């Protein structure tokens, strides 16, 4: 609940802030540092989890902008959004399932670090898509 509240607050608070390189760097640093520290500093779990939620909230602007750009001027907007979300949900399911095996084999550090890295990759690719791809 607190995670979603923080992510929602961050998304709402940053609605008017441009989706640029500075934002990518900030949200990526938060995700990388919090992800790395989460595996090592269990006593700060709640604070680090809320930091990840903050980074997630910053990233929502990129996600929504890409969805809006991909479905702009389409007659079947709702259907198209649904088609865009299906692969995300499948990947989400597979990554959670796979993460359990990775934690069992390599420990939590690998999963939390990978999470921060993948969030950074998402941030950079999102900025690239929004800045360079024409609709």
Per run of 10 residues, the mean pLDDT along the chain (length 135 residues) is: 92 89 93 87 87 93 90 90 90 92 92 89 91 70
Helices (H), the chain: 2-13, 21-38, 45-71, 77-106, 108-132
> Which residue is it, tokens 């802030």?
17
pLDDT given at position 52: 92
Q: Which of 56, 83, 63 is nearest to 129 (CA)?
A: 63
User: Cα separations (Å) of 30 from 25, 65, 79, 115?
Assistant: 9, 21, 34, 12
């Amino acid at each position: 609940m607190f995670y979603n509240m923080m992510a929602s607050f961050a998304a709402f608070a940053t609605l008017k802030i441009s989706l640029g390189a500075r934002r990518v760097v900030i949200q990526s640093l938060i995700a990388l540092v919090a992800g790395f520290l989460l595996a090592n500093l269990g006593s700060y779990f709640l604070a680090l989890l809320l930091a990840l939620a903050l980074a997630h909230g910053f990233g929502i602007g990129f996600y929504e902008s890409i969805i809006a750009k991909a479905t702009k001027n389409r007659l079947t907007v709702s259907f198209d959004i649904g088609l865009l979300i299906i692969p995300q949900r499948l990947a989400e399911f597979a990554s959670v399932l796979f993460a359990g095996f990775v934690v069992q084999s390599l420990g939590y550090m690998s999963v939390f670090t990978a999470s921060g890295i993948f969030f950074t990759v998402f941030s950079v690719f999102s900025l690239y898509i929004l800045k360079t791809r024409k609709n």
